[in-house]
Structure 1
């Protein structure tokens, strides 16, 4: 039994907490202690649960259930040897108690021996008629093993026993999604809805499957039924808004997102999407107003800052765009796309050193796109750092061997440094790989085109 301070049945809890304050020991029967301990564990108040277990065992030293609570605490605290020893003692007393098997499975699970945990839980199934929790525990152990088909089977068993077990329903759909079985998930959900037609969660999940498959009209219908089943279901309005955006029905999308603001506390996601819809409709004032509300609601939402960055960047206000991209990077400094945008904005502002730093950071974060190497190298050339540019392009060659755009750049740098042999080597390589990119020499190194050796090598394509 769960206690509540608004519950008339919470007298044992009140009495217990009063006892702790006065140090005056009162008597409780073992079931009262079990309810008190269960309450504290559910509340995450482990210290109080441990006190209740100790006092309970002082008064009822032979209680198996109270000793099982001690096992649960041992497992929680990772004292697995103590837990195992106590379970062995309890098994010798009551070998048909399914809770002993559940705690034994918990120990195996803590040791990452999930297969053994499953075997023990299956033994427990034979000892009880209350199978739903055990099916769920077995399903979770299969998830730990990445055995999604087996996990799905057991979560489905939970639903067969209790169609209102939404946790199991979510887990079933998670398995379908991980296995990329969207069509199968749709079939399953339709069968489920035939038996439980007013289950808003199932309609919501069905809509998400159709959305994944880009069948937006069916997704919209499913979300409509989710809302009919529960017209306060915020998630359904959000998903419906996303579908309407895909269908370019931006005003209707705004209406759905706005409903969520009235049903619950405003979410930064809904505010951001409303701003995006207004921007698509060309209403810049309202778009910016909602973007501002987004970052006010959640200053740590980097996507909000990015939306404002892109808003100003598109309109050529690069100084403001730079201010907001820095906000986004301060929140998520490992995001490659943010650093690329940072570099592009700085480049437009002619802040070349900062732009180069941004491209360097994207490379350090594992972004090895050709354009990143080229953009950084060109900036290093502009900044008068030929050695650093050479090193950059030589790294790029590892990822893009025989790339003419890189070869012509290396040729230009080496000729500029009077390293004629290396310049000749790379220039010939560039021509061999793709002579169409020879314009790079004219564009980046205009002073070289009149040098006799460069002229002679290039003359065959300029005849």
Structure 2
């Protein structure tokens, strides 16, 4: 039906409504009006016209399917199924798709298979589309095992279907088998080397396993296919940052065009790059625009970076006040508390520092801490060093053991424990940890022993300087870029 004809139908409906009358339309006219509403994405009169149509033609299949779709949109799957089951039609694609979607959403995969097997037996002409449309629904519902089974069934029937292979790629990723996902994604790219989606997926997969060089390369190919995706540009810039290309990451961020929300998102990310480049004033200026935003993401990290910039640019009073505010805002954040603990040591308040350290370990024991943040806790080994230096050996050992529990691969942790046990003349435990020292750390230990510097071991295996004194702990914590980010 022509657009003008549909406009006349709608005007007739509105005129009758204004006069308080109920106009009559045949089922096809109602269906045409509803379809025009859907095409124009204007649903102002959709519900009332649909209700009028069902009142005038209660048995019409097309209108009942549209009503069922409305139920599905409102997540009322039981009502949708009740209406769909009363439609006595076969080989109706919309009808079958809606039924399958409802059963997926109701976690009734057996019914999904039952309907699918019926469609296979009938050899319906839209069977391939059934697998293409239902597989992503199962994936989106986190029904990973069912999605894998359904995709495997589909590929058994349509082995060259790229949509199903693409879905299998997502399933491999969800299962944690990223290498197979990458392999399959490369196969898809061989089939269609100009697919923006495939290149984007490949880049994202490489980024998840830390292969940032290949991720950046894939993102560049994706951008040649379509350079309009802001999210891709942000992710590429992030990979450049993770790959150590901080200047290029900044250039990428600066080229991103977007609204205020985009600017708000990328400002802290750019600031991280400037921190890595030790351009603290530029980082400070960026962070000062977002630090007071209550809705900013990763607020604790932004505070750490901001305090770092304040310290490096001589704004010590501001650094102190921001640390106080950060502790108030994030009272259970391990990195913030770590910085507070080290700051207290810097001020000579060792008892208060130990109290904060104990709080940190309680938080860790509660298992409510992100694994990435646990890595930051290892810097607390400095507090153990300080306790050892003042003779509180048992307390230092308890801290070292806690660090070992958090991350057994902490650099030099077995050396620290060995030296502490040797301090206590506990040769059994000394030998136990000596035997667990990695080869690269063992050579360093031998050099320390030859120099007689038992007490001069530090946590950073790349740093050959002497121990960090208590008054410098907070500054060293901030200067360590891993703690700042």
TM-score, normalising length: structure 2: 0.62
Return closer, same or farther for 1:276/1:221 CA change in 2, 3 Å cut-off.
same
Residue aligning to 2:143: 145
Return closer, same or farther for 1:71/1:322 CA change in 2, 3 Å cut-off.
farther
Residue aligning to 2:200: 204
- The residue correspondences of 1:123-162 to structure 2 (distance < 5 A) are 123-124=118-119, 126-129=123-126, 131-132=128-129, 134-141=131-138, 144-147=142-145, 149-150=148-149, 153=152
**Aligned-partner Cα distance in 1 for 2:102–2:380:** 51
**Aligned-partner Cα distance in 1 for 2:316–2:205:** 40
Residue aligning to 2:275: 279
Return closer, same or farther for 1:222/1:181 CA change in 2, 3 Å cut-off.
same
Deviation per CA, 1:275-317, whole angstroms, max 9, x where unpaired? 1222222222111112223446774321433431343467786
Q: CA deviation at 1:212?
A: 3.6
**Aligned-partner Cα distance in 2 for 1:322–1:367:** 29
Aligned residue pair count: 402
Q: CA deviation at 1:57?
A: 0.7
Return closer, same or farther for 1:366/1:53 CA change in 2, 3 Å cut-off.
farther
**Equivalent position SS for 2:62:** helix
**Equivalent position SS for 1:89:** coil
Residue aligning to 2:460: none
Q: CA deviation at 1:256?
A: 0.9
Gaps of 5+ in 2: 368-373, 387-394, 407-413, 434-454, 456-485
Residue aligning to 2:108: 113
Contact 1:242 1:253 in 2 (8 A): yes
Residue aligning to 1:307: 305
Q: Which of 167, 176, 188 matches 2:172?
A: 176
Root-mean-square deviation (Å): 5.3
Deviation per CA, 1:316-353, whole angstroms, max 9, x where unpaired? 86754454456666766664444444544455456765
**Equivalent position SS for 1:293:** coil
Return closer, same or farther for 1:43/1:373 CA change in 2, 3 Å cut-off.
farther
Return closer, same or farther for 1:98/1:229 CA change in 2, 3 Å cut-off.
closer
Residue aligning to 1:231: 227
Contact 1:135 1:154 in 2 (8 A): no
**Aligned-partner Cα distance in 2 for 1:85–1:260:** 49
Deviation per CA, 1:365-392, whole angstroms, max 9, x where unpaired? 645789799999999xxxxxxxxx9xx9
- The residue correspondences of 1:43-54 to structure 2 (distance < 5 A) are 49-54=46-51
Residue aligning to 2:85: 88
Q: Which of 84, 104, 121 matches 2:99?
A: 104
Q: CA deviation at 1:270?
A: 2.3
Return closer, same or farther for 1:184/1:363 CA change in 2, 3 Å cut-off.
same
Gaps of 5+ in 1: 2-6, 380-388, 410-428, 440-463
**Aligned-partner Cα distance in 2 for 1:277–1:35:** 56
Higher relative CO (Cα under 8 Å, sequence separation at least 6) belongs to: 2
Residue aligning to 2:359: 360
The answer to whether the aligner puts 1:67 opposite 2:64 as a matched pair is: yes
Return closer, same or farther for 1:17/1:146 CA change in 2, 3 Å cut-off.
farther
**Aligned-partner Cα distance in 1 for 2:336–2:36:** 46
Q: CA deviation at 1:175?
A: 1.6
Structure whose CA Rg is larger: 1
Q: CA deviation at 1:231?
A: 3.1
**Aligned-partner Cα distance in 2 for 1:183–1:331:** 40
Return closer, same or farther for 1:228/1:115 CA change in 2, 3 Å cut-off.
same
Q: CA deviation at 1:177?
A: 1.6
Return closer, same or farther for 1:43/1:194 CA change in 2, 3 Å cut-off.
same
Contact 1:322 1:345 in 2 (8 A): no
**Aligned-partner Cα distance in 1 for 2:84–2:55:** 19
Return closer, same or farther for 1:432/1:132 CA change in 2, 3 Å cut-off.
same
Residue aligning to 1:412: none
Q: CA deviation at 1:258?
A: 0.8
TM-score, normalising length: structure 1: 0.64
